[in-house]
Structure 1
Amino acid sequence: MPITKATSVQIPSRFPPQLATLATRPPHGKYFWEIKFDGYRMMARVHAGKVTLYTKNGADWTSKFKSVAAAVESLGLQDAWLDGELVAQNADGRPDFGALQEAISQKKTDELVLYVFDLMFYRKTDLRPRKLEFRRAKLKKLLSDHETEQVRISEDFDQPVDSLLSSACAMNLEGLIGKRAGSPYISGRSTDWLKLKCKNRQEFVIVGFTQSSTGLGSVLLASYDDAGALKYAGRVGSGFNARNLQSVHKALKPIVTETSALIDPGAVSVKHAVWVQPTLVCEAKFAEITRKGRIRHGVFVALRTDISPTEVSIETPIDPVN
């Protein structure tokens, strides 16, 4: 039985966020469905009115997004923890990951938006044991009292999930996040939060690359298995443009090494591969993952500096229990 009463505590300096589990289909039961934003997960800690912004793996990115931090400060919360997703919006008002990367690289982040979806602490009260509905109602009230263009509520939708997912995919959104009614906030991956994706897309560790006349031909990808070993996951050579092709190649050059980090380097059927230390993560889209664990028709999306390589593993969707 989950605890349903909030407790009075000192606001913690850090704690891991709750993560959603990939699902094969919508579950039965009462869930609240939100858009799966195409951006960076961002947690905001407010202590004595001062805001610190943290990535999913706990990196302090406040200096990268000073205007967002100032917008959170303008809410006047004093002591709180907020959970959300930082996005850039295109001309149609839809999240655009490419635009987010561009804004960060050019240090033009004043128009980024933090969509907040949970309130874990407020003043000296730990709200994590409280029901989702209670936390959301409290969050909506706080934001309605202090409106700001850069900090907005992530709305949930009261529609049949199948039609909602179809609409999200038709709009070229990433998918949906469903949160079980009555659930507490639990750090780590949980089936209380489920995600439904429109396309196959996830993070991979870069373990090498091939060269071409332009300098970079493709990147060689891997993921960690249950035993903590890096296993080859295929390569990606499409999805690059002139700018990211150059920036990725530049990031890879300093970490070139003579030996492969893969447990099975012989699985790489590529001539003249250049190995790198497994310190960079990229996101890729793909058609499917084969039985051998290789992606098919992969497309490069972006480098992901907000994610630790050791967190990267193949995402296997679950069939929700009814």
Structure 2
Amino acid sequence: MAKASSKKPPELPPLDPMPARVEPCLATLVDRPPKGADWAYEVKWDGYRIAVHIEPARVRILTRGGYDWTDRFPTIVDDARRLAVKTAILDGEAVVLDDQGRSDFGMLQRALGRLPSPYEAGAIVFYAFDLLYLDGRDLRRLPLRERRRLLEPLVAGREGAIRLSEEVQADGEEFHRVACAHGLEGVIAKHIEKPYRSGRGEWWQKITCKRRDSFVVVGYEPSTVPGHLGRLLLAARKDGALVYAGGCGTGWSHDLSRELRKLLEGMVTKAPAVALRRKGAVFVEPVLVADVEYRAWTDDGKLRHASFKGIREREDDAGVFELI
């Protein structure tokens, strides 16, 4: 007769009301991946962080900043209704994949709408990497390994709009090297024994292939080519205000340059959002955020070798770079 296992199954938390919103857990930027068997790794997706709330009568999609963007992700909403759950909160990233299977923020931004686009909302995929609530139980107190154990049967192997963000336990430095060699944004390291903690902390760490942050667009400089964009003027946050952080003059195609110029011309203001006097500058309302890749900062606090990667609305500006 087989001996019964002495190992007890994990104890689930008691029944809890479903939270209206969960402040997301945010990864801390580090230079090198952590080491040890308690760390697992995922690809760092280049998209919008969202939470999918599945309720008996509705599905809601909330952004990282808490805005309801349900109507912007119709295919994710439809697919969420097909999951075998009564109630759930899935944490993950909405992305659009290029022809090599890499997430591309610029393609996602176009699919969502502010600029002309060949990509439709149906091209957007949600990669779920955490499960915070399931059928009446708040799972945030459980360690990550248990939350993943419950998440994987729900979304693993699916090819629709909701998919599983694969997790691997490997040598972190090698995984990071391979990710960068394939042109990915970087990797995320997560401690598998930690509960879900809102805010930024050391239990989730991100290791990027290049430095990349978001900045508020406060103006532009026209190109010498009529109707085109020469340079974006950018600002970071400091002590609750916006401060000029330098400019960005590369990273867009000929067509995108013209589209961005037209978009910004509709936002021109005579009241600059930052203290800046610059010949030829055209100031705009600070309502857009640019994703920018750069190498470093200059000694006077300006971006060095900045390249444009995408643009989005400031209403969800939780990720705008903050100067210390």
* TM-score, normalised relative to structure 1: 0.88
Q: Which residue of 2 aligns with 1:219?
A: 232
Letter in structure 1 aligned against 2:18: I
Number of aligned pairs? 307
> Partners in 2 of 1:43 and 1:117 — Cα distance?
10
What is the DSSP-based 3-state SS (H/G/I as helix, E as strand, rest coil) of the residue aligned with 2:194?
Answer: coil
2:249 is aligned with 1:241: no
| 1:141 match: secondary structure | helix
User: What is the CA–CA distance in structure 2 between the aligned matches of 1:311 and 1:158, rounded to whole Å?
Assistant: 28
| Preserved CA contact (<8 Å) 2:236 2:323 | no
> Is 2:30 aligned against 1:23?
yes
Match of 1:8 among 15, 26, 36: 15
Deviation at 1:290, TM superposition (A): 1.8
Q: Which region of structure 1 is more displaced relative to structure 2, 163-172 or 227-236?
A: 227-236
Indicate whether 1:299 and 2:300 are aligned. Answer: no
Q: Residue in 2 aligned with 1:229? A: 241
Report the Cα distance in structure 1 between the residues aligned to 2:12 and 2:83, rounded to whole angstroms: 25
CA offsets, 1:248-285, max 9 Å, x none? Answer: 223323332223222x425xxx3121122222111011
The offset of 1:310, in angstroms, is 6.3
CA distance in 1, matches of 2:75, 2:203: 33
Q: 1:177·1:193 contact (CA, 8 Å) conserved in 2?
A: yes
What's the CA shift for 1:245?
A: 2.1
Query: 1:133 maps to what in 2?
Result: 145
Return the alpha-carbon distance in structure 1 between the equivalents of residues 12 and 191 of structure 2: 18
Distance 1:80 1:157 in 2: 24
Pair 1:34-2:42 in alignment: yes
Question: What secondary structure, in the 3-state scheme, does the structure 1 residue paired with 2:46 have?
Answer: coil
Q: Distance in 1 between matches of 2:314 and 2:75?
A: 19
CA distance in 1, matches of 2:314, 2:54: 20
- Structure 1, unmatched stretches of 5+, are 317-322
1:128-277 pair list within 5 angstroms:
128-144=140-156, 147-212=158-223, 213-225=226-238, 227-262=239-274, 264-265=275-276, 270-277=278-285
Equivalent residue for 1:278?
286
Q: Deviations over 1:97-155 (max 9, x none)?
A: 233233333461223221100000111111111111110000012224x8342211111
Alignment partner, residue 6 of structure 2: none
- Alignment CA distance shift 1:87-1:168 (3 Å): same
Give 1:315 deviation, angstroms. Answer: 7.6
Query: Does residue 83 in structure 1 map to residue 123 in structure 2?
Result: no
Cα–Cα, structure 1 residues 116 and 307, in superposed 2: closer, same or farther, change >3 Å?
farther
Q: Contact between 2:51 and 2:91, CA under 8 Å: does it hold in 1? A: yes
SS in structure 1 at match of 2:122:
coil
Secondary structure at the counterpart of residue 313 of structure 2: coil
Structure 2 distance, partners of 1:271, 1:310, is 31
Matches within 5 A, 1:36-55: 36-48=44-56, 50-55=58-63
Residue equivalent to 1:320: none
Gaps of 5+ in 2: 1-10
Name the aligned partner's letter for residue 78 of structure 1.
K
Task: Report if the CA contact (8 A) 1:71-1:151 is conserved.
Answer: yes
Q: Which residue in 1 is equivalent to 2:7?
A: none
**1:115-126 equivalences in 2 (<5 Å):** 115-126=127-138
Identity %: 36
Residues 288-310 of structure 1: per-residue CA shift (max 9 Å, x gap): 12232211111111112276346
| Residue range with higher mean Cα deviation, 116-125 or 54-63 | 54-63
- Following TM superposition, by how much is the alpha carbon of 1:96 offset from its aligned partner in structure 2, in angstroms? 2.4
179-188 or 114-123, which moves further after superposition? Answer: 179-188
2:108 is aligned to: 100
TM-score (norm 2): 0.88
How many angstroms apart in 2 are the aligned matches of 1:220 and 1:140? 43
Q: CA RMSD in A?
A: 2.1
Cα distance 1:278–1:104, how it changes in 2: closer, same or farther (>3 A)? closer
* Cα deviations by residue, 1:12-42 (Å, 9 ceiling, x for unpaired): 2222211111112222442111000111112
C-alpha distance in 1, partners of 2:207/2:83? 32
- What CA distance in whole angstroms lies between the structure 2 residues aligned with 1:178 and 1:315? 25
